[in-house]
Chains A and B, each alone.
Chain A
Amino acid sequence: MNPVSATWNFLYKTYHRLASPREFYTIAQYTTPVFGVLAFVLLLCGAYLGLFKAPADYQQGDSFRIIYVHVPAAWLSLMVYVTIATAAAIGLIWRMKMAFVVAICSAPLGATFTALALITGSIWGKPIWGTWWTWDARLTSELILLFLYFGVIATYYAFEERKTAEKAMAMLAVVGVVIVPIIHYSVEWWSSLHQGATVFAEGGPRMPADMLTPLILMIFGFMFFYGYALFIAAQNMVLNNERKSKWVRELVTVNINTTH
């Protein structure tokens, strides 16, 4: 078998295994610690390099170091929303139970990243721009993103029946992802004060390597942390959703017997 079709087969099988709550739970038992350790190591290295080894900025001094929390959080806030919308679309199209679980478990995490980006941005803005808040395009889009997250979460918890709640939440997430770019460009057109893109700028990153390396480590650390937190939340939700099924009962009974 050639490697391409072998990889495809592997992915296909994994996809179908992940679609079953029980298989997902078993797989997550192994992946959760791996993600946790990777997140811990990356965040530790990134924070050490960023806070102690990276040179101070010639204009902003040491205050620029908040970038190592601000940029990863802002990045994750968008990535998580795209993840939610993708999972929601998968759930709606292929009726995959686990996709909804991933989407709804991601929403509070994404909202937290968005809030973190807003808070750190505001703390950074005070010494550099001289104000906590300004009606700048990126700040405003990020704030609107936070409200979109609240909408997704509120929709899910408004319904009593879980299946309806999942579908309604997924519909909203998909509609939101169509509108997010329109919101972003309309707000950008409206006003802009925020500095331009630094990492993905034309002609390579506009940042020296010893400042950039910790940033990249932090971004990957944040991503693995998101994965870690998502696995834990999704495992909990799976246990709750499937509490009437046999395997969950057995799992819980075994755990009770071993602990006592």
Chain B
Amino acid sequence: MNALLLNTLTLYFRREWQLMFRNTGTLVQPLVFFVIIALLFPFSLPVDLDLLEKIGGGVIWVSAVLATLLSLERMFHGDYLDGTLEQLLIHHRYLPLAVLGKVIAHWSATGLLLSLMSPFLCLAFNVPVEQIWVLFIGLMLGTPSLTLLGAIGAALTVTLHRGGVLIAIIILPLYIPVLIFGAGMLSQQVQGLEILSQIYTLAAILVLALTLAPFAIAAALKATIN
């Protein structure tokens, strides 16, 4: 890879990383949201440990999807308001890579943290230990795709004052494949079936998202910001 291109990626990754860690309040928000959503489910269900064990993995996946969704709105919005995004657009740097740097940084503060948090939630749901690993691997492979796909929606709605609901409408249908394969791994595991095919499919979706989404995000930013 060209040194300048790599430099672009790391530059925007580092910038985003610094901004996030200077504002730890917003950093923990998705994480807290994730835990609260997941913990609401037991309150709405009959007190039954077997039931919780069955649905635990799926609940954690849905919570991860919602927590990712919540964090999307602020991905580009702050940069849009203070003009950084316009600077980025007229810059000579290669836009898809700059955007990819931002998205990776964003994922490390949301998806990565959620995945690391998931084993503890599993304990609350009485999920067996061998399934915790499956869930963790699934989330580690699935959440980057969620963030990449979601960034397209965030880029499309960045100029809108209240883009949150619109992001949810346009992005949630696109999340379904990841959810199916991610949560599907758990039910396969319960039935004692092979889960490698799901791992490969999640990885394939991730590779596809990683290669195509940055271009779509860059094009979406160019289309909506004049």
Contact = CB atoms under 8 A, between A and B. Distances in A.
Interface of A: 92, 144, 147-148, 150-151, 154-155, 158-159, 161, 164, 167-168, 170-172, 174-176, 178-179, 182-183, 186-187, 189-190
B3 interface: no
A151 B173 contact: yes
B47 interface: no
B180 A167 contact: no
A183 B177 contact: yes
A86 B142 CA distance: 29
A176 B220 CA distance: 13
Interface in B150-167: 152, 156-157, 159-160, 163, 166
A159 B176 contact: no
A85 to B, nearest CB: 13
Mostly, the A contact residues are helix
B203 to A, nearest CB: 14
A127 B30 CA distance: 46
Contacts of A155: 156-157, 166, 170
Given A158-B157, A189-B184, 9 more contacts: A147-B173, A154-B169, A155-B156, A161-B226, A164-B223, A168-B220, A168-B223, A171-B156, A183-B177
Given A158-B157, A158-B160, A168 B224 contact: yes
A190 B180 contact: yes
B169 A147 contact: yes
A55 B94 CA distance: 64
A164 B221 CA distance: 11
Nearest to A157: B166
B174 A175 contact: yes
Nearest to A191: B180
A171 B166 contact: no
Contacts of B212: 178
B172 interface: yes
Nearest to B160: A158
A82 B150 CA distance: 22
B72 interface: no
Given A151-B170, A159-B160, A171 B223 contact: yes
Nearest to A145: B173
12 contacts: A92-B223, A147-B172, A151-B173, A158-B166, A167-B223, A168-B156, A170-B223, A171-B216, A182-B205, A186-B180, A186-B181, A190-B180
A150 B173 CA distance: 10
Contacts of A189: 180, 184
A183 B149 CA distance: 13
A62 B214 CA distance: 52
Nearest to A190: B180
Given A155-B156, A158-B160, A187 B180 contact: yes
Interface in B206-226: 212, 216, 219-220, 223-224, 226
Contacts of A168: 156-157, 220, 223-224
Across the A-B interface, the 5 shortest Cβ-Cβ residue pairs: A167-B223, A151-B170, A186-B177, A147-B173, A186-B180
Contacts of A164: 159, 223-224, 226
A44 B136 CA distance: 57
A190 B184 CA distance: 8
Nearest to A172: B170
Given A148-B173, A154-B170, A164-B159, A175 B216 contact: yes
